[in-house]
Chain A
Amino acid sequence: MRRVTLLAALAATLPTIAMAASSSAVPVEGMPQLAFGHPEQGRLLIGQVVWLLLIFAALYFLMAKIALPRVGAVIENRHARIAADLEAAQAAKAEADGAMAAHRAATEAARGEARAAVASAVQAAQADSDAKAAALNARLNAQIAEAEARIEAARASAMGAIRGVATDTAEALVAKLVGRADRAAIDTAVGAALTAQGRA
């Protein structure tokens, strides 16, 4: 609102200034910029230059001593701030990179450890199962050997019984047929027959 009022005031002032421009009593011949001979314009043209020098000197003073250093400081400030922020970001990135590398190394170490643990567990289980299998085998072998020995003994005793039975049967048969029997001769004959058959 204040700005609008200011602009309105300026707009109202400008025509007043412009209207004053046409108040020359003596008409100006040719270009007013070169009307040095004109009583009014000539004086104003020189005055314009003098005032120009003063006003421009004021502008230079205001700019060089007051305004521009401050604006330069504002811009410098921003550059410094941006540079500092960039630096901080760079540092943070380096830190993050370091943390990432540490994390990766830790992961790698943990993975190796786990692998070793798994390998040793597998090895232990293998050894355990091997030992158990060996013990079982030994026991089974012992049982087998014992059973075989028992079978052998049973067979040997069975074979011995066959001779007695055969001798008794032969003696009974001979006694029935002949009326008498020579036990010693029959026993010898049975032994010979069994030997011939490979069963003695």
Chain B
Amino acid sequence: MAAEGKTIDALSQFELSPVLGIFGNAVSFSQSNLFMVIAVAIAYFLMKVTADRGELVPGRLQALGEASYGFIAGMVRDQVGDEGKKYFPFVFSIFMFVLLGNLLGMLPYAFTFTSHIMVTLTLAIVVFVVVTGVALAIHGMHFFTYFFPEGAPKWLAPIIIPVEIISYFSRVVSLSVRLFANMVAGHVMLKVFATFVVLLGGLGAVGPFVAAMPLAVNVVLVGFEFLVAFLQAYVFAILTSIYLHDAVHLH
């Protein structure tokens, strides 16, 4: 599948296919969605175990759940302030969803749903809609002064306002494309070097020795991809928090 006809096929790993038989096919439920369900199940399982144990001195799993809780709670408190407490579950859901999507993608044969621009774009639009909704709910019509900073000269308004509006909407693009591009690039690289291992490994007696090089590269890449998986989830969550800060405080 990887090296049909001596060509490198790095993109077929992103193809969708229906799962759960005829029912999945009928409702267009792909393996991507299945991994989303697995991610939700893992997130729920982790937090449920954390709460069920509820020991004073946490064990490993409980410590993991509490650490992720504390990590995002601290992030929201630092970025948004105490008013941000009610948005914590939202940021936490976003973080866990993206993080588990990225990490599940590191398993062999697994599907990385965060490598689909439609998924990241939808998540970004959800964030955008929530943030804008929060801003409108708190500030009402006053929210629109966000696009014209106080104290700026009036005659600059025709320039500043379009720029501010464009930058506001470009949040959706930057948020979604950053995650999508990182995940696609990482998985394409992994696939390309994995294909090299197979292609070079077939070159007779020296093959296995030459193939060790792309294999070593892949070992490094896997470590790097774990870093990226955490980093991108962190970036997605902290940008969401920063946007929420803007929504709550308007600058």
Within the complex, what minimum Cβ distance (angstroms) separates A19 from chain B? 8
B51 and A67 form a contact (CB under 8 A): yes
- A47/B107 in contact, CB under 8 A: no
Q: Interface 1/0s, chain B 43-56, versus A by CB < 8 A?
A: 11001101100101
Query: Within the complex, which residue of B18, B89, B117 is in contact with A60, where a contact is CB–CB below 8 Å?
Result: B89
- In the complex, what residues of A have CB within 8 A of residue B88's CB? 68
Which residues of A101-144 have CB atoms within 8 Å of chain B's CB atoms? none
Cross-interface CB contact of A56 among B48, B51, B97, cutoff 8 Å: B97
B40 near A: Cβ within 8 Å?
yes
Q: How far is the CB of A12 from chain B (nearest CB, A)?
A: 10
B28 touches A47 (CB 8 A): yes
Q: Does B1 sit within 8 A of A, measured CB to CB?
A: yes
Chain B nearest CB: distance from A57 CB in Å?
9
B12 is an interface residue with CB less than 8 A from chain A: yes
Q: Do the beta carbons of B33 and A47 come within 8 Å of each other?
A: yes
Contact B89 A23 (CB under 8 A): no
Q: When the two chains form their complex, are residues B92 and A52 in contact, meaning their CB atoms are under 8 A apart?
A: no
B51 touches A17 (CB 8 A): no
- Taken together as a complex, chains A and B put the C-alpha atoms of A64 and B110 apart, in Å, by 28
A50 to chain B, nearest CB (A): 8
Interface size for chain B: under 10, 10 to 19, 20 to 34, or 35 or more residues? 35 or more
**Listed residue (B11, B16, B43, B93) with the most chain A CB atoms within 10 angstroms of its CB:** B16
Chain A contact residues: over half helix, strand or loop, or mixed?
helix
Partner of B43, one of A49, A51, A63: A63
Measured CA separation A139–B108 after assembly (Å): 123
The answer to whether A46 and B28 touch across the interface, beta carbons within 8 angstroms, is yes
What is the bound-complex CA distance between A78 and B62, given in angstroms?
13
Known: A60-B90, A81-B56. A44 touches B30 (CB 8 A): yes
A24→B111 CA distance, assembly (Å): 16
Cβ of A62 within 8 Å of any chain B Cβ, yes or no, is: yes
Instruction: Check B166 for interface membership: any CB of A closer than 8 A.
Output: no
The proximity string for B residues 184-200 relative to A, scoring 1 for CB distances below 8 Å and 0 otherwise, is 10000000000000000
- List residues of chain A with CB within 8 A of the CB of B50: 67, 71, 74
Cβ-based interface call for B32 (8 A)? yes
Which of A20, A50, A51 is close to B17, meaning CB atoms less than 8 Å apart?
A20
Nearest-neighbor residue (CB-CB) of A28 within chain B: B15
Q: Contact: A52 with B119, CB < 8 Å?
A: yes
Of B15, B43, B69, B107, the residue contacting A41 (CB under 8 A) is B15
Whether B54 lies near A56 (C-beta < 8 A) is: no
Using a CB-CB cutoff of 8 Å, which residues 96-131 of chain B contact chain A?
96-97, 107-111, 113, 115-119, 122-123, 126
Per the bound structure, the CA–CA distance linking A50 and B113 in Å amounts to 14
For residue A70, CB closer than 8 A to chain B, the reply is yes
Residues on B with beta carbons closer than 8 Å to the beta carbon of A47: 27-30, 33
Residue from A32, A45, A67 within 8 A of B47 (CB atoms): A67
- Residues of chain B lying within 8 A (CB to CB) of residue A34: 117
In the assembled complex, the Cα of A31 lies from the Cα of B117 at a distance in Å of 10
- Interface residue from B15, B27, B116 paired with A21 (Cβ < 8 Å): B15
A-B pairs with the 7 shortest C-beta distances?
A47-B28, A70-B51, A67-B47, A64-B89, A44-B16, A51-B33, A14-B109
Q: Enumerate chain A interface residues (CB-CB to B < 8 A).
A: 14-15, 17-18, 20-24, 28, 30-34, 40-41, 43-53, 55-56, 58-60, 62-64, 66-68, 70-75, 77-78, 81
A-B pairs with beta carbons under 8 Å apart, 29 shown: A14-B107, A14-B108, A15-B109, A17-B19, A17-B111, A20-B17, A28-B11, A28-B12, A31-B11, A31-B184, A32-B12, A40-B17, A45-B116, A47-B27, A47-B29, A48-B16, A48-B28, A48-B32, A48-B33, A49-B122, A51-B30, A52-B119, A55-B40, A60-B93, A62-B43, A67-B43, A67-B47, A71-B47, A81-B56
14 more CB-based (< 8 A) A-B contacts, given A30-B11, A32-B16: A14-B109, A17-B31, A22-B12, A40-B17, A52-B36, A55-B37, A59-B43, A63-B92, A63-B93, A64-B89, A66-B44, A67-B48, A71-B51, A77-B54
